[in-house]
A and B are shown apart, each in its own frame.
Chain A
Amino acid sequence: MYRTTVRKIASNYNTLRVPKRTLSNDASAGISSTNSAKFNSEDEKLGMRNMIGQYDIAIVGGGMVGIAFACALSSMPLTKQLKVAIIDSNPALGRRDCIEKTDLPDPRVSTVTPATISFFKDVGAWDYVQQNRHAFFDKMQVWDYTGLGYTRYNARDVGKEILGCVVENKVLHASLLSCLQKSDFHKTIYPSRLTSMALQSHSKEVESKLPGAKLCDHGSFVKLDLSNGDSLFAKLVVGADGAKSYVRELAGLKTTGWNYSQNAIICTVEHNVENQCAWQRFLPTGPIALLPIGDRFSNIVWTMSPKESSERKTMNEDDFVKAVNHALDYGYGPHPQSSSVSNYGDRLSWLIADMTSSSKECFEVPPKVVKIASERMVFPLSLLHSNDYASNRVVLIGDAAHTVHPLAGQGVNLGFGDATVLSKVISDGISIGSDIGEISLLRKFEAERKPANIMMMALLDGFQKAYTVDFGPLNVLRAAAFHAAQFITPLKKNIISYATGEQKWPLFS
């Protein structure tokens, strides 16, 4: 009996949404509070749903990756009619902040690879970035403290113009937000935090009608409760809430990982000259990276042990500048010898067929740091990987699924890759009319992203471990690796293509 009424109500609901809302409110006036968990009939349940927002996708976490995912959905024809809720207590999401171009650069920056740049262009968010401070770089130099070898990369080695672009996180975030707000995408921002999440199970209903039936406990919606008392229903919950993801905890997804006993200090510094190259030097305690941001500013990411990091954070600015220059220049070890291949060029020309231009480049010393332009921030570093990216009606993207060491600037690029693939998988699912929260669809996303993410994480972890050991033979091995990457052209091209996101697998493509 209830079934026919439900069907009538449902069909009416689909056709007349707004007037139906008032009717249902009258019908469900008897319900005492929205937090009541006792639903006695289908009618009341449907009435409840009419009062609480019903969404197709709820994105928990409005950071760079969460908003990028929303932008990706808004830019595809099949997904742009979805109703999306974004849950993040950051007040910046609601405001349309204008970024002052005269501000000093924020120390929190990210290096975006060309693959990510093309994603931004596809969703229409790159113009905003270009209007704000950003720095393309096409050269990179990597060496270590032993002075036994160095590698120089140039975008021309693979026929491209840039290796990547360094942009402040707030600029990336604002560009994605403005792109989202410009589109007529149906999104609602809930400025609150998630407190609980519950799958709507209808198993009690089923048993009364058909004893023994096991409809495999999935209702069609997940109910999310927020800290400000709001509630909403969603068919799919996307966890984009960072390394300490609450969605991952609520969904019961286990993780694997370990803490590196390293912290990273980041800050903005200034030079007297323009810096157009990315520099990374591996020191005994961890790498120091100098990335150009533009306007003679650069960003320092210095990995070191926790004790040193607390010392260096509190030392005065001049001492810190001296320490940075020391670390980039003559500290801990000598400069590597410049490439002497050109001397033997004629005799070895049969062996080194098409040398890239960067193989002939000499070792350069990074530009001197003149002063610090921002506060120093310290972050602990760890490796974390969620064993499963998806469970019933829940999926994780970005740092919630995986966190990596910053030594290759890949972290947020993996997250943007996740957002692209998940939006494509959902679009394919909608094209065949499947339920977007169904786990078989989410497993397709996992099957595509997990191997790539794990491969990258393994490589970065391997590098991190290889460069923290000071052991004679290992130092020589590392030097050999530097030389190999510098002179063996196919290897160098592979490394560049993989790191810039053009190639999916490091070796066999």
Chain B
Amino acid sequence: MASKSLKLCRALCNNTQHGRNIFLALSASRASQRIQRRLFSNDPQPDLVDPPSTSPSEKPQSHDTRRNEGGAGRRPFSSSLNDVELAKFSAIAETWWDPVGPFKPLHAMNPTRVSFIRSALCRHFRKDPSSAKPFEGLRIVDVGCGGGILSEPLARMGATVVGIDAVEKNTKIARLHAELDPVTSSIEYCCTTAEKLVEEQRKFDAVIALEVIEHVADPAEFCKSLAALTDTNGATVISTINRSMRSYATAIVAAEYLLHWLPRGTHQWSSFLTPEELVLILQRASISVQEIAGFVYNPLTGRWALSDDLSVNFIAFGTKNMNSQ
């Protein structure tokens, strides 16, 4: 029954006028899950609090404190968070670059993400893919950069990179690690949000926000900020996790509870976006998605690979429409 409703959603999602109504109907038909209506509404939303029964997480307050302006970094913080949570994140923050630490799955996934970004950006900006530094001359911003796992390869490929994150500890760690290599020491790390950068009127050739949008209160506003940061004819790359049965089984149950790849409560299944929803909100932010691909994990070899299967992790590459400012 769930799969049928998914198919219905997919077929009808292209029709944007009815999107909101149909979506409401579908969410009514799902008895056991709560889908936040924030996705399709342009009105500012009151904060929705997930009841403890559906979110087996140990840190419910991260949802209480969603900021309406969106654009939060990787772990949405605010002063209402208690010190226990801050300390927990600080402890994890220091292990960003530990290859066998809690961020090991991200390190394993990184080469695949970077290869997608490389091929998509080289094609869009007409750069030579067989050059060692194809991004020479490009200004890229890594939103939610964390410890700089993505920013450093981009800098090594010649780009001028700005990495932003809402957690100050992350930017400190990122800066320290980047200084170890002269090539990456030119990366500019700031502890700020996408909104603040928009206020500063900064523009970039490519705006990349990987694994961020599922942690943000208002994805629509967040996408609007990303679009505002993108220069005309620029590129936006967003990666996230699909909201599907399979992703619940793998990204929540398997990754958090069985394999302990991620701390419990890292993700909320209800805040995942399906590819159709992501395309829709990007469209409303005047970014048209050109390419979309999925990541699959092969448990036998322990490696990630790009594929057409979008059911768990996927990454979307879009360009800013010419008619918008």
Q: Give chain A's interface residues, CB within 8 Å of chain B.
A: 3, 6-7, 10-11, 13-14, 42, 46, 49, 77-79, 81, 202, 205-206, 209-210, 212-216, 218-220, 235, 430-435, 439-440
Across the two chains, which residue of chain A brings its CB closest to B115? A432
Across the two chains, which residue of chain A brings its CB closest to B186? A11
A421 to chain B minimum Cβ distance, whole angstroms, is 16
B239 to chain A minimum Cβ distance, whole angstroms, is 15
Interface segment, one of B94-102, B228-236, B258-266: B94-102
Known A-B contacts A6-B185, A78-B132, A216-B99; the reply to A434 vs B180 at CB < 8 A is no
A218 to B94, CA, bound (A): 14
Contact with A along B254-298 (1 / 0, CB 8 A): 000000000000000000000000000000000000000000000
Q: Is the CB of B180 within 8 A of A210?
A: no
User: What are 24 contact pairs spanning A and B, CB under 8 A?
Assistant: A6-B179, A7-B179, A10-B185, A49-B182, A78-B130, A81-B132, A202-B180, A213-B94, A213-B173, A213-B176, A214-B94, A215-B176, A216-B97, A216-B98, A216-B99, A220-B180, A235-B181, A433-B153, A433-B154, A433-B157, A434-B111, A434-B153, A435-B181, A439-B99
Q: Is the CB of A14 within 8 A of B183?
A: yes
B114 part of interface (Cβ distance < 8 Å):
yes
A443 to B152, CA, bound (A): 20
Q: Is the CB of A215 within 8 A of B97?
A: yes
Across the two chains, which residue of chain A brings its CB closest to B130? A77
Across the two chains, which residue of chain B brings its CB closest to A42? B179
Residues of A within 8 A of B124 (CB): none
Complex A-B, nearest 3 residue pairs according to Cβ-Cβ distance, in ascending order: A433-B153, A220-B180, A433-B156
Residues of B within 8 A of A220 (CB): 180-182
B127 part of interface (Cβ distance < 8 Å):
no
A433 to B159, CA, bound (A): 11
B302 to chain A minimum Cβ distance, whole angstroms, is 10
Residues of A within 8 A of B175 (CB): 3
B38 part of interface (Cβ distance < 8 Å):
no
Q: Is the CB of B172 within 8 A of A210?
A: yes
Residues of A within 8 A of B107 (CB): 440
A287 to chain B minimum Cβ distance, whole angstroms, is 39
A322 to B153, CA, bound (A): 65
Q: Is the CB of A206 within 8 A of B111?
A: no
Residues of A within 8 A of B185 (CB): 6-7, 10-11
B177 part of interface (Cβ distance < 8 Å):
yes
Q: Is the CB of A214 within 8 A of B98?
A: yes
Known A-B contacts A14-B186, A440-B99; the reply to A433 vs B176 at CB < 8 A is no
B158 to chain A minimum Cβ distance, whole angstroms, is 9
Number of B residues with CB within 8 Å of any CB on chain A: 32
Most buried by B among A202, A213, A430, A439: A213
Q: For chain B residues 111-170, which have a beta carbon within 8 Å of chain A? A: 111, 114-115, 118, 130-132, 152-157
Residues of B within 8 A of A213 (CB): 94, 173, 176
Most buried by B among A209, A219, A431: A431
Known A-B contacts A215-B97, A219-B180; the reply to A432 vs B118 at CB < 8 A is yes
Across the two chains, which residue of chain B brings its CB closest to A213? B94
Residues of A within 8 A of B186 (CB): 7, 10-11, 14
A202 to B181, CA, bound (A): 12
Residues of B within 8 A of A212 (CB): 94
Q: Is the CB of A209 within 8 A of B153?
A: no
Most buried by B among A49, A219, A435: A435
Overall SS of chain B's interface: helix
Across the two chains, which residue of chain A brings its CB closest to B111? A432
Q: Is the CB of A431 within 8 A of B98?
A: no
A99 to B182, CA, bound (A): 43
A81 to B98, CA, bound (A): 29
B204 to chain A minimum Cβ distance, whole angstroms, is 18
Across the two chains, which residue of chain A brings its CB closest to B100? A216
A140 to B40, CA, bound (A): 75
Known A-B contacts A14-B183, A213-B94, A213-B173; the reply to A431 vs B99 at CB < 8 A is no
B244 to chain A minimum Cβ distance, whole angstroms, is 28
A77 to B111, CA, bound (A): 19
Q: Is the CB of B172 within 8 A of A10?
A: no
Residues of B within 8 A of A11 (CB): 185-186
A216 to chain B minimum Cβ distance, whole angstroms, is 5
Across the two chains, which residue of chain B brings its CB closest to A81? B132
A42 to B99, CA, bound (A): 25
Q: Is the CB of B95 within 8 A of A214?
A: yes
A230 to chain B minimum Cβ distance, whole angstroms, is 21
Residues of B within 8 A of A49 (CB): 182
A20 to chain B minimum Cβ distance, whole angstroms, is 11
B123 to chain A minimum Cβ distance, whole angstroms, is 15
Across the two chains, which residue of chain B brings its CB closest to A392? B99
Residues of A within 8 A of B118 (CB): 431-433
A74 to chain B minimum Cβ distance, whole angstroms, is 13
B103 to chain A minimum Cβ distance, whole angstroms, is 11
Across the two chains, which residue of chain B brings its CB closest to A214? B94
Residues of B within 8 A of A235 (CB): 181
A213 to B177, CA, bound (A): 11
A406 to B250, CA, bound (A): 50
Residues of A within 8 A of B94 (CB): 210, 212-215
A129 to chain B minimum Cβ distance, whole angstroms, is 28
Residues of B within 8 A of A216 (CB): 97-99
A97 to chain B minimum Cβ distance, whole angstroms, is 33
A209 to B154, CA, bound (A): 26
A490 to chain B minimum Cβ distance, whole angstroms, is 29
Across the two chains, which residue of chain B brings its CB closest to A202? B180
A235 to B184, CA, bound (A): 13
Residues of B within 8 A of A79 (CB): 132
Q: Is the CB of B156 within 8 A of A434?
A: yes
Q: For chain B residues 175-218, which have a beta carbon within 8 Å of chain A? A: 175-177, 179-183, 185-186
Residues of B within 8 A of A13 (CB): 182
Across the two chains, which residue of chain A brings its CB closest to B302? A447
A439 to B100, CA, bound (A): 11
A222 to chain B minimum Cβ distance, whole angstroms, is 12
Residues of A within 8 A of B115 (CB): 431-432
A202 to B175, CA, bound (A): 13
A219 to B181, CA, bound (A): 8
Q: Is the CB of A10 within 8 A of B99?
A: no
Across the two chains, which residue of chain A brings its CB closest to B113? A432
Most buried by B among A78, A79, A432: A432
B220 to chain A minimum Cβ distance, whole angstroms, is 31
A121 to chain B minimum Cβ distance, whole angstroms, is 21
A165 to chain B minimum Cβ distance, whole angstroms, is 32
Across the two chains, which residue of chain A brings its CB closest to B90? A212
A202 to B176, CA, bound (A): 10
A128 to B98, CA, bound (A): 47
Q: Is the CB of A432 within 8 A of B114?
A: yes
A14 to B188, CA, bound (A): 15
Q: Is the CB of B156 within 8 A of A209?
A: no
Across the two chains, which residue of chain A brings its CB closest to B94? A213
Q: Is the CB of A14 within 8 A of B114?
A: no
Residues of B within 8 A of A202 (CB): 180
A404 to B114, CA, bound (A): 39
B95 to chain A minimum Cβ distance, whole angstroms, is 7
A7 to B94, CA, bound (A): 22
